[in-house]
Every structure is written in C-alpha cells, then in structure tokens.
Amino acid sequence: MEGEAPPAARLAPRRRPTMQDVAHEAGVSKGLVSMVLSGSSGPSAATRERVLAVAARLGYRGDRTAALLARRRTRTLGVTLIPGNPYHGELAEEIQSAAEAAGYEVVLGATGADEGHAIETLVDSRCEALLLLGPTLPAARLGRIVDAVPTVVLGSAVDLPDADVVRADDAGGIAQAVDHLVALGHRRIAHVDGRSGAIAELRREGFVAATARRGLDPVVLPGGLTEDDGAAALDDLPDDVTALVGFNDRTAVGVLDRLERSGVPVPGAMSVTGFDDSPMARHARIDLTSVAQGYLDQARLAVRLVLERLEDGRTEPREIVLPTRLVVRGSTGPPRRA
Amino acid sequence: MEGEAPPAARLAPRRRPTMQDVAHEAGVSKGLVSMVLSGSSGPSAATRERVLAVAARLGYRGDRTAALLARRRTRTLGVTLIPGNPYHGELAEEIQSAAEAAGYEVVLGATGADEGHAIETLVDSRCEALLLLGPTLPAARLGRIVDAVPTVVLGSAVDLPDADVVRADDAGGIAQAVDHLVALGHRRIAHVDGRSGAIAELRREGFVAATARRGLDPVVLPGGLTEDDGAAALDDLPDDVTALVGFNDRTAVGVLDRLERSGVPVPGAMSVTGFDDSPMARHARIDLTSVAQGYLDQARLAVRLVLERLEDGRTEPREIVLPTRLVVRGSTGPPRRA
DNA sequence: CCAATACTTTAAACCGGTTTAAGTGATATC
DNA sequence: GATATCACTTAAACCGGTTTAAAGTATTGG
C-alpha cells in the first residue's frame, strides 16, 4: 500500500501495538475498544466490526499483565507440581480443563528446588486460589504463605487448618491389597513403607490395621519413595514372608528388581503389590498389581472445592477422601506351597 | 501490643497491604519504599531500616503483576512443556536453576491440550524469551505467535527461521546403536521408527545412513511414539531380523513387551535398543540399552542462547547439536547362531 | 417542537507498582 | 554571605489495560 516499506523493519523492533493504538487507528476511545474486545454488550454492531477489523489488522494482542492488574478478579488458579512427575502431570491436565470449563486460567509453579518460593510467586501473581499437588512444606510455613488465599491440598495430608484436602483413601487402598493377598492364601505379609511423611504414615497404619483385622502379625520394613529404597528394604526380609505390599509403585518396582536379581520368581515365590497404578505398573515386563487412585476425580473435585469457596462463599474447610480400586495383574498369586 | 485484637479479623478479609500502605505507615513516599525494597542505593540507612521494619510488620508482599507492568524489562522466561513428561521435567528444572542464576524468573505453560494457547499466554504475559520443549505446532503457526520474541526450541527440529535450536545428534545417536549391534555381530537390523515428525525423520535417515555405511540393507518398520505403536510394528517383522533399533524408549518397551508375550528371549533371540535413556530403561526388569541425550547440557545451553540474545544482542539464529552417548544394558547381545 | 428515555461513546479514575525530574535541606566552596 | 554541591525525598508520569460516571446523540412520545 504505502510505497517502499522500510527495508529492515526488524532493526527497530516495533513495539507491540497497545489498546491505545487500536483506539486511535479506529477513531474511538480506549475504553470502547476494551468493551468490544471483552465482548460487552455496550458497543454498537457497526463500531464493534470496525474495532475488531483494526485490531486484527494491527495484530493486536492484549497484555495479560495489564489486564490482571486492572481487573478486580483475576480468575486465575495457581497449581504447584513437580514438573516430571507423571501423577502430577495427569492431575494438572485435568485441573486445567476443569478450570477452563469454569472460566478460569491456570498458572503452574514448579516445586523442584524451592517449594516455598514457587507458592509465594503464585500468590504474588494474584492467583485467586491455590491447588498444591503433594506439598512437602511444613504446615506452619505453608500456612503463613497461603494465609488469605483459598487452598486445596491434593494427595498429601498436610494439616493446614483452613485448607481443603482431596486425597485417596490410603488406608482403604492398602487394605484392598492386603485383603487380596489374604484371599489368595497369604498369611505372612510385609509392608515396605514410605519411611516418613503423612501419607507414608497413613498407609503404614492402614496396613497394620488391615492385617490385625485378619488376625495376622504385621511386618513393616522401612522403605522409602524410590526404587532404590524398595530394593534396600529387602535386606531384612524375614524368611517366611510370602507377599510384599509396597508403599507405591516405585518402591514396588525396586522390590521386583531386587527379587529378579536374586532369582526369586514372582509371583511364584513372592507376591508384590504397588500403589498408584502408574503407567509403569501396566508394562508387560512389570505387570504389577497396584492400587489405583482416581486421579481424574481428584482433579475435578479439587476444582469444585475451589469454586465453592470462590463463588459460593464457603469458608469452613472440607476434606474429601476418595475410594481406591485394586487393579490385579501378574505380580500377585497364591503363595508357594510350604 | 495493642489491646484486644478484633476477634474475627477473618470476617473482613483485610485486603493485602500495598506499597502505599507501607509508605503511609512509615511516613515516607511510595517511591521511596519502592527504592528501598528493590535495594537501590538511594535511600539513607536510617530510612531503609524503618521502611523495612514497617514492611515486615505489615507483612507486605509486592504485587508481581503490578511490578511486571511497570518495569521496562520483566526478566521472565517462558517455558512450555507437557507436565507429566519426565524428559521435560528434567529439562525444566535445569532451565529454572540456570535462569535463576542469571537473575531471571521462569514461568511454565502446559502444552497438554492446546499448545498454541499455552504459548500465546506466555507471550501475553510479557515473557522476554520462550523455551519450547518438543513443540509440535506447525512452524507457520508457531512463527506467527512468537514473531518478535526470542525463541529456543529444544528437542525438536521445527524449522523456524528466526529461532535457535538445541537438540541431540539424533542421527549420530542412532548410528551409535547400529554400530554397537554390528559390533556384536548383527547383520539384519530393523528400525521401528517414530512414524511422522521431524525428529522421527532425522532418526530414520540416520538409521538408513548408518546401515548403508556398514553395507547392510536397512529395514524400517513404521512405529510411533508409544508402547502400543512399538508392539504393533512387529506384525510385519521379517524372519531374519536379529536386532531392533527403537525410535525411543517407549517404542522399545512396547517391542520388549510384545517379544515377551510371544516368548522370544531378549537378547537371546533378539536384541533391542531404545533412545532417551529414560528412568524406565534403567529398571532391572526392562534393562534397555539406550541412547542417552545430555538433558542437563541441553537445558544449560538453551538458557545461554537466550541470554546471548537478550543481553549480548545476538540476532542471527544458532543451532546446537549435542553428542549422544550409548548406554549398554542387558537388552542387547550377540545374535543367535544361525 | 420539547422533554423523556434509550443507546452509544467518552473521559477520567484506578489497579499497584517503577522511574525520573524536580525539590529540600544541609554541607562545602569561594 | 552567596552559591555550588551533595545526599535524600517527593511528586508525578507512566505501564496497558478495566470500569464507571457523565456526556452526547437518537429515538420516542405527548
């Protein structure tokens, strides 16, 4: 249109157009442009057309930061997670789609190095609520940070007085595993536990309670969260144990590895169960009987809890415990005949 | 200090204190508070003390949105990733710590559902640069979005004219696998490829080239990214093939599962290699020979490329190809004697 | 033809910071 | 004693939007 465009537009990196630019170009006021772009019913059809055309021509894109600052509500939810954790990944995706359906944006915070810092950043970014996936920060510190922000804790039993909690029925899940093994005929069952942490405690207590109900002696081996912890736990394995209930799938896989290396056939000589029903458990080479948590339900419920607080004004905290489901695979079978 | 605090401060959810509140309480101007908090050398020691004390007493926390809007530079880097992907997780953590060391914040965008939307949000949030982990968006669309924002693409061979690229030497990695198999004595080697995508193509071509160099006939089986794709690829496996080079670890694990189910011993009757050296490959039950990419190096180099553009004013795009390393495990061995 | 009512549009305040030009004293210079 | 210098502070502009009260223009009715 205009003869000879400047040859190197790139040199002067044109500042991206602002709403004011659009307004000026369309010959209207800035406020009107804002109304048009936010789909308000005020502006006339003719103006709307014109403004939209100009905006498109200029390649206008709103500035989120400015909008967030100006808006009374940000409609933004903060989610903290460990980036590589597949469990967190599944939860995050489901949370995101549930949030979007309710008209909220989601921003992620990585809790790899410094969880406190990650949460603070989300709070300072005006998130209206926080969803914390498996937080490990001490409750006191956590409480100070989230103070006035509605918070839902997922998959962790942090005891925050004002926070909502959504988690699986850990004790019940372990009981399902124990019951399954007992039904197969096992009488000496050991739990490779998660060492420390609230969840580890819940599962360990669940194990002790479940075995007690069946009139069995509970054997608890100190384990941990990783494959290595699981493998190491077998150093002190009593001879008569015929089945192992792992704290989670990783622990259980460590146990499987160790058994494999020691030439102990599974489930021929030893049955093993995990917890999480992770993708790993499904592999043919691993094929681990595991307790499934309803990830998707957890995510959806967590978002619902947030909405209750944000939109219905709920203030008293709620805790939701979801039932688990045992997925039986090839790592469990009847005990070897004595 | 003050007698009887109001019994239910919670009822009127006190708005969080602003910088103005701090200024007023300390009897100074807002600007001065800003200077103190940002550690400028202007304010006197006495004032600094007083302002900091008031800020602490009021529990003041700056508003990131406001600061971002006002500051000329945001010192923020946007990273897109698939939340549950362990590869992306490792990269993201390393990127984050490298960025922090250079004084930048990192914000994450989840590319589960809508990659375009995720990237747009980051751009609109004033990220100064973008790091895209394994983007799958068509280059044209991508180019339009990132337009004026410096961008580094990791682990993907998107052909964006202005973007930097950091990736593993895919062809070289596959060649390492092939050479290893040839050294073991294999002569009929097949590649279960990644079907479509730039990376898949690079690896496929690398495979063809490597076998050709050794004077072998390349056999390529259409595979894909997942375990199922890998398993399905074996439907058309020629009888005389004794080794399989998988597109990635997941494909290879699918292959392993299928072989296991068919009663084909590995590596007795068939050798298998993967690509990524993922945690999965290390499991004793899987124990997969795999090509390792230097994740950490990739992350650090990507951040360095960003800094070059942001702080040294580089404008011409760079592509960095990193060497791979073959990790030999139990899934490869000499071919079965004919 | 003028007032009342309904639509559109504008101007200006505001969100909560950062930044800079202009002030204010106090001390140093001549 | 008048002026230049220096160390602190302040006031105000600005970032790029949203929102609301008020103004302008049409339309309608009596």
Which amino acid is it at A232? A
Q: Strands B319-322 and B129-133: what pairing?
A: unpaired
CB atoms under 10 Å from CB of A7, counted, come to 7
pLDDT at position A3 over 80: no
| DSSP symbols for B78-98 | EEEE-TT-HHHHHHHHHHHHH
Tell whether A226 lies on the interface with B, counting CB pairs under 8 A: no
Does the structure show a pLDDT above 70 at A317? yes
* Per-residue pLDDT at A13: 54
pLDDT at A7 over 50: no
- Rounded to 5 degrees, φ, ψ at B299 are -65, -50
CA distance B320 to B305: 9
Write down the pLDDT at residue B280.
82
- The mean per-residue pLDDT over the stretch A296-306 comes to 95
Residues of chain A found within 8 Å of residue B278, distances taken between Cβ atoms = none
Q: Among A62-66, A116-120, B7-11, B76-80, whose mean pLDDT is lowest?
A: B7-11
A159 vs B322 pLDDT, higher one: B322
Question: What is the predicted pLDDT for the residue at B160?
Answer: 84
Percent of chain B's residues with pLDDT above 70 = 95
Residues A119, A137 contacting (CB under 8 angstroms): yes
A107 and A122 in contact (C-beta within 8 Å)? yes
Strand D-proximal residues of A, range 24-63, CB below 7 A, are: 30-31, 34-35, 37-38, 60, 62-63
Token pair for A323 = 């039932």
Residue of B61, B64, B91, B256 to mutate, interface with A, max A Cβ within 10 Å:
B64
- Closest residue on chain B to A111 (Cα): B93
What's the half-sphere exposure (Cβ side, CA atoms, 13 Å) at A67?
17
Q: Which residue of B has its CA nearest to A90?
A: B84
Average pLDDT rounded to a whole number, residues B30-36: 95
Q: What residues pair up with A320 in beta bridges, in sequence order?
A: A166
Q: Is B62 helix (H, G, I), strand (E, B) or coil?
A: coil
Q: Which residue has better confidence, B164 or A283? A: B164
Which pLDDT band holds residue B13 (cuts at 50, 70, 90)? low
Provide the pLDDT confidence category of residue A144 given band limits of 50, 70 and 90: confident
SS3 B305: helix
- Per-residue model confidence (pLDDT) at position B47: 92
Judge: A82–B63 Cβ closer than 8 Å, yes or no.
no
The pLDDT of residue B40 is 87
Mean pLDDT of B94-122: 91
- The answer on pLDDT for A145 being more than 70 is yes
Write the CA distances from A128 to A158, A334, B117, integer angstroms.
20, 52, 21
Is residue B309 predicted with pLDDT exceeding 80?
yes
Instruction: Inform me whether the C-beta atom of residue B8 falls under 8 Å from chain A C-beta atoms.
Output: no
Banded pLDDT at B181 (limits 50, 70, 90): very high
Residue A2 has pLDDT above 60, yes or no: no
pLDDT band at A15 (very low <50, low <70, confident <90, very high): confident
pLDDT in tens, A157-172: 777 888 999 999 999 9
Distance CA B294, CA B85 (A): 16
Q: Is the CB of A74 under 7 A from strand D?
A: no
In this prediction, residues A19-48 reach a mean pLDDT of: 92
CB contact under 8 A, B66 and A69: yes
Tens-digit pLDDT profile for residues B229-280? 999 999 999 999 999 999 999 899 999 989 988 999 989 999 999 999 988 8
pLDDT of B337 reads 65
Round to whole Å and give the CA distance between B304 and B112: 27
The reported pLDDT for the residue numbered B110 is: 92
Decide if B129 contacts B149 (C-beta within 8 A). yes
Supply the pLDDT for residue A10: 38
Report whether A190 contacts A272 (CB < 8 A). Answer: no
CA A86 centroid distance within chain? 9
Using a 7 Å cut-off to protein CB atoms, list the covered nucleotides of chain C: 7-12, 14-20
**pLDDT (0 to 100) of residue A155:** 83
Q: At what angle do helices B30-37 and B45-58 cross, to 10 degrees?
A: 90
Query: Can you tell me whether residue B157 is helix, strand or coil?
Result: coil
Beta partners for residue B106, in sequence order: B77
pLDDT band at A338, cuts 50/70/90? Answer: low
CA angle (A205 as vertex; A202, A208 as ends), nearest 5: 150
Q: Tokens standing for A170?
A: 């850990």
Q: Which residue has the tokens 């954790």?
A: A85
User: Confidence class of residue A313 from pLDDT cuts 50, 70 and 90?
Assistant: confident
Over 90: is that where the pLDDT of A248 sits? Answer: yes
Is the distance between the Cβ of A214 and the closest atom of strand D smaller than 7 Å?
A: no
- Stretch A96-119: mean pLDDT: 91
Decide the pairing of beta strands B325-327 and B289-292: antiparallel
Confidence band, pLDDT 50/70/90 cuts, at residue B11: very low
CA distance A217 to chain B (A): 31
State how far Cα A294 lies from the chain centre. Answer: 12
pTM reported for the whole predicted model:
0.85
Q: What pLDDT sits at residue B338?
A: 52
Q: Is the dihedral of CA B9, B12, B17, B23 positive or negative?
A: negative
- Give the model's pLDDT for residue A14: 64
Distance from CA of B318 to the nearest CA of A (A): 18
The whole-number average pLDDT for the span A240-251 is 95
Say what the pLDDT of residue B145 is: 81
Range among B85-89, B198-202, B204-208 with highest mean pLDDT value? B204-208
Statement: residue B8 has pLDDT above 90: no
pLDDT given at position B2: 40
CB proximity B62 to A under 8 Å: yes
Quote the pLDDT of residue B258.
92
CA distances from A8 to A5, A52, A57, B114 (A): 9, 28, 20, 33
Average pLDDT of the segment spanning A31-52 = 91
A113 touches chain B (CB under 8 A): yes
Q: Does position A306 have pLDDT exceeding 90, yes or no?
A: yes
In tens, the pLDDT along A193-240 reads 999 888 899 999 999 999 999 999 999 999 998 888 999 999 999 999
Mean pLDDT of B201-225: 95
pLDDT at B104 over 90: yes
Q: Is the pLDDT of residue B3 over 50?
A: no
